[in-house]
Amino acid sequence: MKNYLVIGNPILHSLSPELHNYWIKKNNINAFYEKQELNKDDLKDLILKIKLGKISGVNVTVPFKKDVIPYLDKLTLESEYTQSVNTIYLNGDKVTGHNTDINGFELAMKDMNFDLFDKKILILGAGGVVPSIIYALNKIKVHKIILSNRTKKKAENLLHLSNKVEVTDWGIIPDFDMIINATSVGLNDKDALDLDLSKVGKDKLFYDVIYNPKETIFLKNAKKSGNKIENGKRMFIHQAAISFKIWHNIEPEINEEVIKLLDK
Ligand code: ATR
């Protein structure tokens, strides 16, 4: 029986096992998928197990998406660019790291039918997921990507990723077509960003990478003021589906039942 894992710390909240085991069952695959909390010191041994065929594949989540890189034999272009790996598999005898967050985000945008070509995008935050979003936005050929992070230096460290990226001070809200909350603020229901977004107008797209809770205060307020909103659920499902395809060579179905699996 093949075995798959998602690793992170903490990992209790991860819904990847629900999703993967659902698709494994639907497709009659002889496999199971579990979650495992690890420490940084455990990464080397874990990756050796993939090399030896003792583990068939691994998803990586916060805070290890970069930390796993030194132990891998090969990186795909996407994971090299973003320095972020969320999917590991054995390709021949090479333990390979890939990043499916990029296409996950891109497919989530497609699902919404929101045309981002030539649009101005404001990203709040500069953490682990932001390089993947920048990569995807570059592919979609947006006009401009403005980064705003509480710690400005961290945003400035991402300027090299694209000549479309600019950095602004935290608290300054430039004109935008789409705003993305890529900070961790909102994971706790009652937490809200200390930003005044009341004057941005309406008919913009407010996107939150967070999907649990379903509507952060960021999204609730945006809806009240007449803007479109979307949470990170579809990005999460798509990134999982792409990992599934890599491991099992089967494109899993994304239907209402799958979407409901995550409404916990
Ligand atoms: P990491 O920074 O380790 O990659 P992350 O969860 O991917 O972790 O990123 C957290 C993001 O949320 C960061 O951009 C962080 O801003 P700082 O770089 O200034 O820490 C942002 N963040 C967390 N708490 C915040 C808060 N109360 N207000 C604004 N931004 C916050």
Sign of CA dihedral 46, 35, 189, 217: positive
Cα of 206 from ligand 1 centre, angstroms: 18
Cα of 35 from ligand 1 centre, angstroms: 24
Q: Is the CB of 183 under 6 A from ligand 1?
A: yes
Ligand 1 mutation target, pool 149, 169, 191, most atoms within 8 A of CB: 149
pLDDT on residue 153: 98
pLDDT on residue 13: 87
Q: What is the pLDDT of residues 99-126, one digit of tens each?
A: 999 999 999 999 999 899 999 999 999 9
pTM (2 decimals)?
0.95
For ligand 1, atom 21, name the residue with the nearest CA.
183
CB atoms within 10 A of CB 13: 11
Beta bridge partners of 26: none
Residue segments in the chain with a per-residue pLDDT below the cut of 50: none
Q: Is the CB of 130 under 6 A from ligand 1?
A: no
pLDDT on residue 263: 85
Q: What is the strand order of the sheet 120-124 is part of?
A: 165-168, 144-148, 120-124, 178-181, 205-208, 228-230
Q: Is the CB of 149 under 6 A from ligand 1?
A: yes
Helix runs in the chain, H state only = 16-26, 43-51, 77-82, 101-112, 130-139, 152-156, 217-224, 233-248, 256-261
Nearest ligand 1 atom, CA 183: 12
Q: Is the CB of 185 under 6 A from ligand 1?
A: yes
Residues with catalytic annotation?
A: 65
